[in-house]
Amino acid sequence: MLGTFKNVLFILVAISALAITSPAQKISSDPRGHEWWKHSVFYEIYPRSFADSNNDGIGDIKGIDAHLDYLRDLGVDAIWITPCYPSPQVDFGYDVSDYENIDPMYGTLNDFDHLANDARKHNIRIIMDFVLNHTSPQHQWFRDSASSRNSKHRDWYIWRDGKAPGVPPNNWISGFGGSAWQFDSTTSQYYYHFFAVGQPDLNWRNPAVENAMFDVTRFWYKRGVAGFRLDAVDLLFEDPELRDNPILEGKNDLGDPNMVNKYNDKLPEVHTELTKLRMVADEYDAVLIGETYTANREELKEYYGGRNDEIQMPMDFMFCEVNKLSAREFRAQIANVESTGGWPVYVIGNHDMARSYNRYGDGVHNDQIAKVMAGMYLTLRGTPIMYYGEELGMENNDPVRKEDVKDPIGIAGWPGEKGRDGERTPMQWNDSTNAGFSQAKPWLPVPASYKTHNVARELEDPNSVLRFYKQLLALRHHEPALLDGDYLALDQDNPDVLSYLRRYNNDAVLVVLNMSGKQQKVRFDLSAQGLASAKPITLLTTQGASSVGSIDQMSLDPFAVYIARLSR
């Protein structure tokens, strides 16, 4: 009896201790049992380019804070802020010199706390970018590591002797061009950097690195951060023997030999590590989003973890990289991620690839095509991650002169590879100078199209891309079938029109997307779904609802989007 009482007491104490130690914890699931991130719309913010509060030409934390109303009204539930930590900015923040602070150019930790507090009031969660593969050489860990072969942090990075004088330890090539090894004369060894020379790789085989990095995540979770986007997570481990990679024919855009990154990309150890990082995340009900560049469904499936114990949200770049408006190819990629059994994560653009507006646009119907893309990735089963400005139809603005290039990839690859500046230009708020981003000259120039494609103007125009996004996001938040329904492909042989059902209990939403520039006729026989006599109630369409017709005889304008609820 006393024993039982003691047990109960112990459980009570344990529960209250849990409540005390995790103040950041929010309600983890909705009444239907879904984790919060399954019903959330994520939005990537490149802080240098979102809004400049102090008019120095560079966006900042206060700038984000000032636009939370806009994000809430748009229908955003979580923002992922790309790195805003102290950094020499060799790779615009992806070279971190202190994981537990904010770079003065972006503000202070205090500004961050304000943002976190205001975001909470707007029901917007914050996701930070975790650059876990590498640091800046200015990080105190690296400075100590480089200082002597016996330093405390020596083994926190990957140091090796060359094969011979002037010859690096192996043939590995950096993603930013040239050898992935940098000779350091202080200790006469090479250090490994998959990315720029200013981004030395951490040695994740060292438990001290692992612990320090896990503590970094706790630091932010305790500040109210709801999760992390894991940068370049494929690359955490290297072959202990550092074997040469197999060389392929030809050269890449940066002029280096093509190779298979057999010994430094997606090693099995990555998965063991992710289960540990996940355990820390679970202490705080946090979500992990992966920058996972997978080549096939097996690789993508692995990232969810054998017991769903790795990354909850691995981004599906196979979908993102379809790179043409093709119903067939999107249908195949949707089936591919659906077949993993995991919760899909759809992205159509980010700060590393040309804007979707240009990649999918035909140069004539770009606004219509932007709506088709939105009509797809915001109605599929899964979580979408938007890229800032996508909702406006922002376009790429590539540099035209080498001297204007900021991105190290563009500097190394000019003129064949112009780098990533074009997709990182300032957010277009209105049609005043610098698109309302800043009163000072912005760090990157806005494209001329800001005059028509900006928040203020598009809010006024009922046919704008922005207004379409707003309607679509509102639908997505309210239609149970769009939130929780399954995905059923329809009319699967159609090369021009992508159609599917999202079904939930007695509800179904039908999505029909004309991916061609021609009028299309489609018909659906939904008797197998028990919806043969269902009446479609139009929810959203880009053409007159009456001109569409009925489900057994539909007529679609070029690049039309048609979304309807079907009820039995």
Q: Is 94 in the site for ligand TEU (CB under 6 A)?
A: yes
**Which residue matches tokens 């030809």?**
250
Q: Could you tell which of ligand TEU, Ca ion, none binds residue 45, using a CB distance below 5 to 8 A set by kind? A: none
CB neighbour list of residue 541: distance below 8 Å, 6 or more residues apart: 548, 560, 561, 562, 563, 564
Q: Could you tell which of Ca ion, ligand TEU, none binds residue 524, using a CB distance below 5 to 8 A set by kind? A: none
Q: State which of residues 231, 398, 421, 479 lies at the interface with ligand TEU (CB under 6 A).
A: 231
Q: State which of residues 175, 305, 517, 549 lies at the interface with ligand TEU (CB under 6 A).
A: 175
3-state secondary structure of 53: coil
Stretch that binds Ca ion, among 14-22, 59-67, 119-127, 174-182 (CB under 5 A): 59-67
Query: How far apart are the C-alpha atoms of 409 and 416, rounded to whole Å?
Result: 11
**Which residue matches tokens 């096939």?**
296
- Considering the complex, what minimum distance in angstroms separates the CB of residue 352 from ligand TEU? 3
Catalytic residue among 56, 118, 256, 283: 283
Distance set, CA 516 to CA 349, 509, 554, 560 (Å): 21, 22, 15, 9
**Residue 361 DSSP one-character state:** -
Q: Could you tell which of ligand TEU, Ca ion, none binds residue 480, using a CB distance below 5 to 8 A set by kind? A: none
- Considering the complex, what minimum distance in angstroms separates the CB of residue 237 from Ca ion? 37
3-state secondary structure of 18: helix
Q: Could you tell which of Ca ion, ligand TEU, none binds residue 56, using a CB distance below 5 to 8 A set by kind? A: Ca ion
Q: Could you tell which of ligand TEU, Ca ion, none binds residue 60, using a CB distance below 5 to 8 A set by kind? A: Ca ion
Q: Is 352 in the site for ligand TEU (CB under 6 A)?
A: yes
Stretch that binds Ca ion, among 44-52, 81-89, 158-166, 458-466 (CB under 5 A): 44-52
Query: How far apart are the C-alpha atoms of 498 and 326, rounded to whole Å?
Result: 9
Q: Is 65 in the site for Ca ion (CB under 5 A)?
A: no
Name which of residues 120 to 139 contact ligand TEU (CB under 6 A): 131
Catalytic residue among 111, 231, 238, 407: 231
Catalytic status, residue 253: no
- Considering the complex, what minimum distance in angstroms separates the CB of residue 22 from ligand TEU? 30
**Residue 43 DSSP one-character state:** E
Query: How many other β-carbons are positioned within 10 Å of the β-carbon of residue 273?
Result: 19
Stretch that binds Ca ion, among 52-60, 115-123, 357-365, 418-426 (CB under 5 A): 52-60
Q: Could you tell which of Ca ion, ligand TEU, none binds residue 352, using a CB distance below 5 to 8 A set by kind? A: ligand TEU
Query: How far apart are the C-alpha atoms of 39 and 336, rounded to whole Å?
Result: 21
- Considering the complex, what minimum distance in angstroms separates the CB of residue 16 from ligand TEU? 41
Closest CA to 386 of 46, 48, 64: 46
Query: How far apart are the C-alpha atoms of 225 and 404, rounded to whole Å?
Result: 35
Per-residue tokens: 188: 């006469």
Query: How far apart are the C-alpha atoms of 19 and 413, rounded to whole Å?
Result: 52
- Considering the complex, what minimum distance in angstroms separates the CB of residue 56 from Ca ion? 4
* Closer of 114 and 470 to Ca ion (Cβ): 114
Site string for ligand TEU, 309-348 (x = CB under 6 A): ----------------------------------------
CB neighbour list of residue 20: distance below 8 Å, 6 or more residues apart: none
CB neighbour list of residue 231: distance below 8 Å, 6 or more residues apart: 83, 94, 129, 130, 131, 132, 133, 291
Query: How many other β-carbons are positioned within 10 Å of the β-carbon of residue 55?
Result: 11
Q: Is 195 in the site for ligand TEU (CB under 6 A)?
A: yes
3-state secondary structure of 389: coil
Q: Maximum distance among all alpha carbons in the chain?
A: 82
Residue 338 near residue 435 (C-beta atoms within 8 A) = no
Catalytic status, residue 118: no
* Closer of 52 and 338 to Ca ion (Cβ): 52
Name which of residues 402 to 421 contact ligand TEU (CB under 6 A): 420
- Considering the complex, what minimum distance in angstroms separates the CB of residue 421 from Ca ion? 18
- Tell me: cis bond preceding 31? Omega within 30 of 0 counts: no
- Considering the complex, what minimum distance in angstroms separates the CB of residue 289 from ligand TEU? 12
* Closer of 257 and 306 to ligand TEU (Cβ): 257
Q: Which helix (H) or strand (E) holds 70?
A: helix 68-74
Per-residue tokens: 262: 């057999």
- Considering the complex, what minimum distance in angstroms separates the CB of residue 193 from ligand TEU? 10
Interface residues with ligand TEU (CB under 6 A) are 91, 94, 131, 175, 195, 231-232, 291, 293, 351-352, 420
Q: Which residues bind Ca ion (CB under 5 A)?
A: 52, 54, 56, 58, 60
List active site positions: 231, 283
